[in-house]
C-alpha cells in the first residue's frame, strides 16, 4: 500500500484563508510546492515535503528555512513549474491532489494552468480550490452536495456534449455547451445535491462557496 | 457619419489604475456601464452616458448621482448584464469598444465573459484591458508593438490552427494550439513588434504591460 498518495499542492497564484480553511479539513500525506508556491505554504504554516521548479521564484533563504524539504531543481524551460510538479507527483505515486494557487494572479497563467490540468486530470483525482469556488473537471458525471441557492457554474472549456443536470435551478437536458457558444454560468442548487452528466468532451464545474 | 462609434465599457469585474491610465489615452465618444460597472466608472471619474442591466448591482442612489445618464433596465435572466450592454452598444451603432472590468473578480464570471466576447467580437472592434495585460481576440492575424523582453501569451480558447509568429522569443511555425492540448503562454517579444497569424479558429493574445 502506498502511504503517500494524497497531496496538497501549492502553486504560485493566489491563495486566501478560504482555501486554507478547507484544506485543513482535508486528509493528506504530502505537501508539495511548485516553485514560489512555497511562499504560500510557509505563510499558512505548511512545511513542504518537496518543492519542484526552475526556482526562479524561490525566496533565496528557502533551503535554510526548510532543512527537511526536498528541493527538486528542474531548470528546463519546456514545461512550467506546475507541470514539473505534477510529473514529480506522478513519480511519487500520488493519486489525489488538492490544488491551491492555480488561479488568480495573471489571467494568462490561470488559463494556461487550467489548460494544463486537462492534460493531467486523468492521471490523478484533482480538486482545485480557488478563492471563491471549488472546481472539478468532469468527463462523465459528478454528484455534488450543496445548499439550495448556492451558486454553481458549468464552463465548457472544451465542448461538453449532451449535458444533463438534476437539482439545479436552471436545468439542462442533453444540451451541448461549448466555449464561445454556450456556457452554464450563474446557475444554483435547487436541492441539497445535484448531478451533472455529459456524454463527451469535458466540463469545468465551479461550486461556489456557500457565502458567495 | 456616426459620431458615437467608440465606447468605453465598464463591466463589473476588477478595474485598477493601470487600465484607467491606458483608457485616458484612448479617444472615445461614449461611456457605458454594465450594471454595477457604474461603480468603477464613478470611482475613476467617468460619467456614464448609459447603464444597462438588471440593476441588481446598482447602488441605490445611482440615478440621483447621475441625473444625465440613461438607465436602461433589462430584467431578463436569459442574458448577463455584459451581453445586454453589448446588444445596447450594437443598437447605438458603436463599432469599437474598450472593455474594462471584464475579468478579475470571480473566475467563473471571467471565463463566461471571455466565452461571451467570442460571440460578439465580429460585431465590434474589441480591446480588453485587464489589470496585467491588453487582450485581443485574433481570428486571422495581428501585428503588435512591444519592447524586447515584454511578455506575451497566446491562449487558444478554442482551437487555433496553423499558428505562425515572427518577432517572438519562442517562434511558432504552422503549429496548432488548442485549449487542453497546447498553449503558448509565457512567450516574449524578441523585437519591437511581432506578428501572429492563424489559418482557422481563434486565439486570445495577452500582451502583458511592459513592467509585468
Domain spans of chain B?
6-131, 137-208
Would you place residue A3 in the very low, low, confident or very high pLDDT band (cuts 50, 70, 90)? low
**A132 contacts chain B (CB < 8 A):** yes
Residue range B33-56: mean pLDDT, rounded: 97
- pLDDT score, position B2: 53
* Average pLDDT over all residues of chain B: 95
CATH number of B137-208: 2.60.120.320
For the segment A155-179, the average pLDDT, to the nearest whole number, is 97
Q: Do B108 and A179 touch (CB under 8 A)?
A: no
Q: Taking CB atoms and an 8 Å limit, are A108 and B208 in contact across chains?
A: yes
Among the partner-chain residues A109, A133, A157, the one whose CB lies closest to the CB of B179 is A157
Report chain A's mean pLDDT, rounded to a whole number.
95
Encode pLDDT of B91-124 as tens digits: 999 999 999 999 998 999 999 999 999 999 999 9
Per the CB < 8 Å rule, is B181 touching A107? no
> Do residue B204 and residue A111 have CB atoms under 8 angstroms apart?
yes
Sort out which chain A residues have CB atoms less than 8 A from B133's CB and list them: 106-108
Q: How far is A106 from chain B (nearest CA, A)?
A: 7
CB pairs under 8 A between A and B: 105
Cβ of B107 and A111 within 8 Å? no
Range A178-194 average pLDDT: 96
Top-confidence residue, A2 or B72:
B72
Q: What is the pLDDT of residue A212?
A: 66
Are A183 and B112 in contact (CB < 8 Å)?
A: yes
Q: Is the complex ipTM higher than 0.90? A: yes
Nearest to B13 by CA among B28, B32, B43, B34: B34
Is A183 close to B116, i.e. CB distance below 8 A?
yes
- Homologous superfamily of A6-131: Thiamin pyrophosphokinase, catalytic domain (3.40.50.10240)
Nearest CB neighbour to A179, from listed B106, B115, B185:
B115
Q: What pLDDT is attached to residue B3?
A: 58
Contact flag A111-B155 (C-beta cutoff 8 Å):
yes
A22-71 confidence digits (pLDDT tens): 999 989 999 999 999 999 999 999 999 999 999 999 999 999 999 999 99
What's the confidence (pLDDT) of residue B199? 98
Q: Is the CB of B16 inside 8 Å of chain A's CB atoms? A: no
Predicted pLDDT at A77: 87
Q: What is the Cα–Cα distance from B15 to A82, expressed in whole angstroms? A: 28
- What is the mean predicted confidence (pLDDT) over B143-166? 97
Quick one: pLDDT band at residue B212, thresholds 50, 70, 90? low
Chain A partners of B153 at a C-beta cutoff of 8 Å?
108-109, 112
Comparing CB atoms, the residue among B110, B180, B183 nearest residue A107 is B110
What pLDDT does residue B211 have?
79
Whether residue B188 is predicted with pLDDT greater than 90 in this model: the reply is yes
HEC string of chain A? CCCCCEEEEECCCCCCHHHHHHHHCCCCCEEEEECCHHHHHHHCCCCCCEEEECCCCCCCCHHHHCCCCEEEECCCCCCCHHHHHHHHHHHCCCCEEEEECCCCCCHHHHHHHHHHHHHHCCCCEEEEECCCEEEEEECCEEEEECCCCCEEEEECCCCEEEEEEECECCCCCCEEEECCCECEEEEEECCCEEEEECCEECEEEEEECCCC
The share of chain A scoring above pLDDT 70, in percent, equals 98
B130/A contact by beta carbon, under 8 A: yes
Residue B1 Cα, gap to closest chain A Cα (Å): 32
Q: Identify the pLDDT of residue B49.
A: 98
CB–CB contact A108 B185 (8 Å): yes
Q: Could you tell me the three cell numbers for B205?
A: 493574445
- Contact list, B111 vs chain A (CB under 8 Å): 155, 157, 179, 183, 185, 204
For B67, the grid coordinates are: 441625473
Residues 161-200 of B with CB under 8 A from A: 179-181, 183, 185-186
pLDDT in tens, A101-160: 999 989 999 999 999 999 999 999 999 999 999 999 999 999 999 999 999 999 999 899
SS3 of chain B: CCCCCEEEEECCCCCCHHHHHHHHCCCCCEEEEECCHHHHHHHCCCCCCEEEECCCCCCCCHHHHCCCCEEEECCCCCCCHHHHHHHHHHHCCCCEEEEECCCCCCHHHHHHHHHHHHHHCCCCEEEEECCCEEEEEECCEEEEECCCCCEEEEECCCCEEEEEEECECCCCCCEEEECCCECEEEEEECCCEEEEECCEECEEEEEECCCC
The reported pLDDT for the residue numbered A53 is: 97
From A119, A155, A208, residue closest to B111, measured CB to CB: A155
Across the interface, whether the CB atoms of A206 and B104 are under 8 A apart is answered no
User: Considering only alpha carbons, which residue of chain A is nearest residue B209?
Assistant: A106
CB contact under 8 A, B107 and A206: yes
Amino acid at each position: 500500500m502506498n502511504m503517500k498518495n494524497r497531496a496538497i499542492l501549492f502553486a504560485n497564484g493566489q491563495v486566501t484563508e478560504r482555501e486554507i480553511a478547507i484544506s485543513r479539513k482535508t486528509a493528506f500525506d504530502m505537501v508539495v510546492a511548485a516553485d514560489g508556491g512555497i511562499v504560500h505554504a510557509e505563510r499558512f504554516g505548511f512545511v513542504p515535503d518537496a518543492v519542484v521548479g526552475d526556482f526562479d521564484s524561490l525566496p533565496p533563504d528557502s533551503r535554510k528555512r526548510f532543512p527537511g524539504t526536498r528541493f527538486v531543481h528542474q531548470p528546463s524551460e519546456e514545461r512550467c513549474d506546475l507541470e514539473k510538479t505534477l510529473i514529480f507527483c506522478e513519480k511519487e505515486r500520488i493519486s489525489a491532489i488538492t490544488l491551491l494557487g492555480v488561479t488568480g494572479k495573471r489571467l494568462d497563467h490561470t488559463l494556461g494552468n487550467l489548460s494544463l490540468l486537462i492534460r493531467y486530470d486523468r492521471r490523478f483525482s484533482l480538486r482545485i480550490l480557488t478563492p471563491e469556488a471549488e472546481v472539478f473537471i468532469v468527463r462523465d458525471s459528478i454528484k455534488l452536495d450543496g445548499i439550495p441557492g448556492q451558486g454553481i457554474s458549468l464552463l465548457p472549456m472544451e465542448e461538453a456534449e449532451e449535458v444533463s443536470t438534476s437539482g439545479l435551478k436552471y436545468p439542462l437536458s442533453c444540451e451541448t455547451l461549448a466555449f464561445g457558444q454556450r456556457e452554464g454560468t450563474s446557475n444554483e442548487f435547487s436541492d441539497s445535491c445535484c448531478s451533472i452528466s455529459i456524454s463527451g468532451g469535458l466540463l469545468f464545474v465551479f461550486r461556489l462557496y456557500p457565502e458567495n
